[in-house]
Structure 1
Amino acid sequence: MARCLTRLTIATLLSAALSLPAHAETGKVRFKFFKAGWFIGAQAGSGILSFRGEMYPFRIGGVSAGLTFGGSSTDLVGAAQNMHQASDIEGIYTALGAGLAVGAGRRAIQMRNAKGVVLTLEGEQLGLQFDFDLSGMSVSIQNQ
């Protein structure tokens, strides 16, 4: 009887430990990219992720479709939420957005990838651009 009770206690403790949700963390990010287009746009750039005291440089690339006219340089900072490890930032992010840059302006965006990482970014946009489009952005960590 004591063995059965011990096994039941161990099974209950293991079950409780395994059912606890994994602790997600937030990293800090900085994106700098250039976007240009005429109906179809393209963007390219780089960024840096600060996560658990380490810095991870990454590359940005992507396309947009919709109403895109002109070109701009964008520098955004913010948070990468719901991360378990640095590589979680990698993937394809999509966003429906609109913006206008005539000289200098502000930009804010929130995007999510398939791993559940949510990027909440804001910052400065310089250039001459109007966009109302569906954007896809690929983020990949650079080998150091």
Structure 2
Amino acid sequence: MKILSLLRVGLLALAALVGGMSMANAADGTVKIRIFKAGFVFGGSAGEGVLTFQGRQYPLAVGGLSYGFTFGASETRFHGKVRNIKRASDISGVYAQGGAGAALVKGAQVVVLTNQNGAVLELTGEQTGAIVSLDLSGLALSLK
């Protein structure tokens, strides 16, 4: 019994060490994204951006769909950080969000999103245009 307990503790320690090493390899980058959104019930968004990671810049393509109460059009310019990526391609993926918002001429936006690779986007920005939304939306980012 005592040997099984020691073995179990040893395996847990090894798992913690390996998990810690994989997180230690993760790094942060910065992101600038420009998104255009328009819709009436169904909405769509498209845009572009740049990821700066480990001294290099990577162009990004942005796209997405939304469903719910959406009416109007807007442009949002985001900037911020992407955390927990090991390589630039980890930013690629689908980021899901449910939310509500409104902008008439100008409005502030703050967003924290995660994709299937574990990348975490922490973005702030300013929205211009006239749009009201209460929707579920998905944002897809990919390297160009």
TM-score bracket, shorter-length normalisation: 0.7 to 0.9
1:131 aligned to 2:133? yes
Q: Tell me the equivalent position of 1:21.
A: 21
**RMSD over aligned Cα atoms:** 1.4
| Structure 1 stretches lacking a partner, 5+ long | 1-14
Contact 1:44 1:60 survives alignment (8 Å): yes
1:79-118 correspondence to structure 2 within 5 Å: 79-118=81-120
Moved over 3 A (4+): 15-20
Letter in 1 for 2:21: P
Change in 2 beyond 3 A, CA 1:116/1:106: same
Q: Tell me the equivalent position of 1:37.
A: 39
TM-score scaled to structure 1, two decimals? 0.84
TM-score scaled to structure 2, two decimals? 0.84
SS in 2 for 1:21: helix
Give the Å deviation of 1:86: 0.4
SS in 1 for 2:21: coil
Contact 1:28 1:78 survives alignment (8 Å): yes
Q: Tell me the equivalent position of 1:3.
A: none
Out of 28, 36, 48, the residue aligned to residue 46 of structure 1 is 48
SS in 1 for 2:117: coil
Q: Distance in 1 between matches of 2:84 and 2:19?
A: 18
Contact 1:95 1:110 survives alignment (8 Å): no
| Structure 2 stretches lacking a partner, 5+ long | 1-13
Q: Percent identity?
A: 41
Query: Alpha-carbon deviations, 1:81-121, whole Å to 9, x = none?
Result: 11111000001110112111100111111111000101111
1:66 aligned to 2:84? no
Q: Distance in 1 between matches of 2:77 and 2:28?
A: 20
Change in 2 beyond 3 A, CA 1:19/1:59: closer
Letter in 2 for 1:125: Q
Aligned residues: 128
Letter in 1 for 2:82: A
